[in-house]
Structure 1
Amino acid sequence: MSNEDITLTAGDAEAVVAPGNGGRVSGLRVGGTELLRQGERFGCFPMVPWCGRTRDGRFLSGGAVQQMPLNAAPHAIHGTARDGAWRTARVTGNEAVITYDLVEPWPYSGRVTQVVALTEDSLTLTMSVETYDSSFPAQIGWHPWFNRNLGGQDVRLAFEAAWQEERGDDHLPTGNRVDPKPGPWDDCFGMPDGVDVTLTWPGQLELTVASREEWVVVYDEQAEAVCVEPQTGPPNGLNTLPRLVTPIEPLEASTTWTWRPLQAD
């Protein structure tokens, strides 16, 4: 099938999936209001086969050092799949399945499958990485850019984390866990019971980002948008907390965003 944009609808919700632009969800409208920052680099893109920054673009796998391009020098950031064209495998009215075959510069063969499922009050993103060849470490995550302001109201973030990964001057976790600090953030938090972050635009909408994974990066240093990024491990996790994809054990993860409209005061 082609990689043209796909529009999913359910009730007054509409999601646009862009396989040809990195497999991202390029838009999510609820009651006619766009929740995601618009633009080629924005929306919500998949972070795979790694999330956030990988130190110096290097990771160890099978005794060999692998080097990724330094697209956020001096580090490599957010994986390779967001830069490629995905293929559409299947579409129904409110669900799309898209795939991406891992290619260079990633040194291992594998397939990423992402399912985008929309209901009247939720969006669920599910991703898997599988291989039929060599095993390799990988991560899965999502990087949504939520509009900071809806209807004249700035978003409020609310969450309770068990810890915050101490961030070094190089923007990577130092390995120390500290008590969560007030924002602004470009930081990774630990939630052992699963990611649970609420975004509230007063008088407009409340949206909860949830996942069974225990890691989330919160980024709110940009004027236009805030990012709440569930992922299977911390930044630099290919080195510090590798999750192995093998021919008999894929890596799988999902996140669900649930929303409800709010009445204006």
Structure 2
Amino acid sequence: MRRASIDRIGITGNGFRAEVLSLGAYVADLTYEGKPLLLRNDGKQSATRAGMALLAPFANRVRNGEYSFNGAKYKLPVNSEGHAIHGFVKNKEWKVLEKGDEFVKMELNSKGEPGYPFELSFSVSYEASKRGFNVEMAAVNAGGTNAPITMGAHPYFVHPTPRSQWFINAGNVFRLEMVGNIPTGRMVPQRLSTYIGEYDDCYRVNEDQVRLIFPHDWEIAIKLNGFHFIQLFTPSWANAVAVEPMTGAPDAFNNGIGLTVLEPGKSLRASFTITPRPKGMEL
């Protein structure tokens, strides 16, 4: 995971401590008042198996790594499943634009990736604010043609109690029916207010907040702005749950669910805030 050339950037303030790596603008560790909030990456895990990776220009999967756009067909690199997954920005070296004790802003310029010949300028800001740990993502079309895009993040939340005792509340949602982790196009209305089970599911959220409620006296609120989907995933290798904000659904490059088509010079922006707080406290 780590190599000598990767910079480690510390953020400290308002009870938070974070370690951000220049590779992928990746949050390898995040704590609040000494409590781990994310599954710490000790350098042995890949970016999407701990910590918080950024996902772009596509979040989650593109079926068979294939899609058509503006009359042309494209082929992306695929994983062992045979799908393209989670974009490529997580594997790129990001540049620090601004840095303070409580924040960092980073950027990445991308052009001509395999299967994605579009030119984009990405940025992310992390801030340990009084309201929570804030993540702001943006992509600007720096090229001369329209570009398809979805964005997301992949945080793994942790707590010392067994995750079967954790409770999630996202209110009324639409669950995307999936076959082989690819949406069929059908959405099923339901209320996502339940103890954590075994998940690898995507939901279209109607509210702007997801709450993870732990035993005893505290919870984590994830306040969403511009992220209209979440992927829930419970890993087999850790007592954790990934709650992944996404601007579009899995395979959006083919099914169009939540897909953004950026015109030249236009931008896509979205943000979320992770707020630990006493149970039941309102933001």
Q: TM-score, normalised by structure 2?
A: 0.84
Distance 2:80 2:267 in 1: 28
Distance 2:97 2:6 in 1: 9
CA contact (8 A) 2:105 2:124 kept: yes
Could you tell me which residue of structure 2 aligns to residue 225 of structure 1? 240
| 1:170-209 mapped onto 2 (5 Å cutoff) | 170-180=180-190, 183-194=197-208, 196-203=209-216, 205-209=218-222
Structure 2 stretches of 5 or more lacking a match? Answer: none
Q: TM-score, normalised by structure 1?
A: 0.89
2:138 is the counterpart of 1:135: no
| 1:1-265 mapped onto 2 (5 Å cutoff) | 4-20=7-23, 22-39=24-41, 40=43, 41=47, 42-103=50-111, 104-105=113-114, 106-133=116-143, 134-147=145-158, 149-150=159-160, 154-168=165-179, 170-180=180-190, 183-194=197-208, 196-203=209-216, 205-212=218-225, 213-222=227-236, 223-241=238-256, 242-261=259-278
Q: Quick one: percent identity of the two aligned structures?
A: 26
- RMSD of aligned C-alpha atoms? 2.2
Secondary structure, counterpart of 2:253 in structure 1: helix
Distance 2:166 2:39 in 1: 13
CA contact (8 A) 2:22 2:95 kept: yes
CA contact (8 A) 1:129 1:245 kept: no
CA contact (8 A) 1:3 1:88 kept: no
Task: Quote how far apart the aligned CAs of 1:139 are.
Answer: 0.6
Distance 1:130 1:61 in 2: 18
Distance 2:252 2:77 in 1: 17
Write the deviation string for residues 81-112 of structure 1: whole angstroms up to 9, x where unpaired: 11111111110121111111224223212111
Distance 1:172 1:62 in 2: 22
CA contact (8 A) 2:27 2:52 kept: yes
Task: Quote how far apart the aligned CAs of 1:3 are.
Answer: 5.7
Structure 1 stretches of 5 or more lacking a match? Answer: none
Deviation >6 Å, runs of 4+ = none
Secondary structure, counterpart of 2:31 in structure 1: strand
